[in-house]
Amino acid sequence: MNTGKNRQFRLASRPVGDITPNNFEYREEPIPSPSDGEVLVRNIYLSLDPTNRIWMSDRPQYMPPVAIGQVMRGGGIGVVEESKHPNFHPGDLVSGLLGWQDYALALGNTGNGISKLPSPLPCPLTAFVGPLGATGITAYCGFLDIGQPQAGETVVVSAAAGAVGSVVGQIAKIKNCRVVGITSSDEKCRWLLEELGFDDAINYKTANLETALAQSCPDGIDIYFDNVGGAILDAVLTKINLHARIPLCGLISAYNATEPVPGPYNYSQILMQRAKIQGFIILDYLPRFPEAMQELGQWLNQGKIKYKLEIVEGLENAPSAILKLFDGNKIGKLAVKVADEPV
């Protein structure tokens, strides 16, 4: 809906501990006009991601923090409304760091650039928020490149019912691995087992994790795709095999920490098992995005990858919706619907 104004959420203060809606300031600005080389995009879906919490802080990180007073940074999908760039035309669907607002001014190629989605779309637009978006590509690149899965190996993934974890587990099944997911509720465990084809799922809120891992992984753990760090990483380290690989994707258990977080107690197992732990940021893999999207798209169309989106209606609800990433109160990929999809 064109309201004639550009609703925005700007960063008002840096969170101390959990994010609160007061960390954002609501503003209404005029809809901007593109200058030469720029494109005006109307946002449709705003992706809510754990990294938003990192960007809100001023701790050392992989991109500049969002400045106080700046429009909150966020990935999204939108439609071009007006273009002064030769490669973009009104009606084009694009993705990029569009921000927490109705309208974004984007550069066509560099800086806060946008990328065109394929036309015609090979699948529903929502797939580009989910498995064909940044989180699916993160799963694909981190798991395949650092995990180096071999058929028959045992793979464990944490935050397994989330955007990245659910895709990691399904790719691991495609690669003929045994897959065990760790997540926070029986409902999420059922989704992993009954719909996504995981071999086992552990509710870390109710199980003794070390005991449950020993039962679920009788041959030990060859790959641990770490989305959370903390106590879950520590428990997994007690079960890793010789030459295990640990793609370190995220540390969400520490993002709201107000005190320094100690390293894993069982760190010695990295040495004893000659394991490899490697952090990565999806931006490292930009050249592989087309390959990842193509293969993920094929798996999606073959029904080998399934996904669930938790879509919160309305930009106005973004500041409260983001809390769902940290209280675990959602299944699959979290996003906000800012405007209707074009017909």
Ligand X SMILES: NC(=O)c1ccc[n+]([C@@H]2O[C@H](COP(=O)([O-])OP(=O)(O)OC[C@H]3O[C@@H](n4cnc5c(N)ncnc54)[C@H](OP(=O)(O)O)[C@@H]3O)[C@@H](O)[C@H]2O)c1
Q: Which helix (H) or strand (E) segment is 179 a member of?
A: strand 178-183
Q: What is the contact surface with ligand X in residues (CB under 6 A)? A: 49-51, 135, 138, 159, 161-165, 183-184, 188, 227-228, 230, 249-253, 280-282, 325-326, 328, 333-334
Contact 74, 97 (CB under 8 A): yes
Contact 21, 320 (CB under 8 A): yes
Q: Name the residue nearer to ligand X (CB basis): 126 or 135.
A: 135
Q: Minimal distance in Å, beta carbon 50 to ligand X? A: 4
Q: Name the residue nearer to ligand X (CB basis): 26 or 326.
A: 326
Question: Which residues, including other chains, have CB under 8 Å from residue 128's CB and lie 6 or more apart?
Answer: 77, 95, 117, 121
Q: Minimal distance in Å, beta carbon 165 to ligand X? A: 5
Dist. CA 200–CA 181, nearest whole Å: 6
Q: Minimal distance in Å, beta carbon 258 to ligand X? A: 13
* 4 token code pair: 């004639």
CA angle centred on 233, ends 228 and 239, rounded to 5°: 145
Q: Name the residue nearer to ligand X (CB basis): 105 or 312.
A: 312
Q: Name the residue nearer to ligand X (CB basis): 23 or 158.
A: 158
Alpha helices (H) in 142-205, listed in sequence order:
163-174, 186-190
Dist. CA 94–CA 116, nearest whole Å: 4
| Secondary structure class of 6 (helix, strand, coil) | strand
- Name which of 312, 307, 309 is nearest 322 in CA terms: 312
Q: Minimal distance in Å, beta carbon 75 to ligand X? A: 10
Dist. CA 325–CA 331, nearest whole Å: 10
Q: Name the residue nearer to ligand X (CB basis): 34 or 250.
A: 250
Dist. CA 228–CA 15, nearest whole Å: 19
Q: Minimal distance in Å, beta carbon 227 to ligand X? A: 4
Dist. CA 309–CA 70, nearest whole Å: 28
Q: Name the residue nearer to ligand X (CB basis): 83 or 138.
A: 138
Dist. CA 64–CA 49, nearest whole Å: 16
| Secondary structure class of 195 (helix, strand, coil) | helix
Alpha helices (H) in 176-229, listed in sequence order:
186-190, 209-216
Q: Name the residue nearer to ligand X (CB basis): 272 or 286.
A: 286
Q: Name the residue nearer to ligand X (CB basis): 99 or 181.
A: 181
Q: Tell me 266's DSSP state.
A: T
Q: Minimal distance in Å, beta carbon 46 to ligand X? A: 13
Q: Minimal distance in Å, beta carbon 248 to ligand X? A: 8
CB-based burial of residue 193 (10 Å sphere; 0-12 exposed, 13-18 middle, 19+ buried)? middle
Q: Minimal distance in Å, beta carbon 58 to ligand X? A: 17
Q: Minimal distance in Å, beta carbon 338 to ligand X? A: 18
Q: Name the residue nearer to ligand X (CB basis): 221 or 322.
A: 322
